[in-house]
Structure 1
Amino acid sequence: AELPRRAAKKPRPRRHGVHFWLTDGVHVALRRRPPDGLLGGMEELPGTPWRDAAWDWAEAAAHAPAAAAWRPVGEVRHVFTHFELSIAVHAARVESLTRTLPSGLSARRRDRLAESALPSVMRKCAAVAEAAEARGA
Structure 2
Amino acid sequence: MPTRRPIDASTAQSAPPDLLTVAETAAVLRCGLTFVYESIHRYRATGDADEIPGLKVGRSLRVPRVRLERYIGAPITWPIVDHPIVDHEPDTSDPVNTATPSPRPTARHPRRATRRPATPRLFED
**TM-score w.r.t. structure 2 length?**
0.20
If each structure's helix is expressed as a fraction of its own residues, which one has the higher value? 2
**TM-score w.r.t. structure 1 length?**
0.19
If each structure's strand is expressed as a fraction of its own residues, which one has the higher value? 1
Q: Which fold has the larger relative contact order, with Cα–Cα distance below 8 Å and residues 6 or more apart in sequence?
A: 1
Task: Tell which structure's C-alpha radius of gyration is larger.
Answer: 2
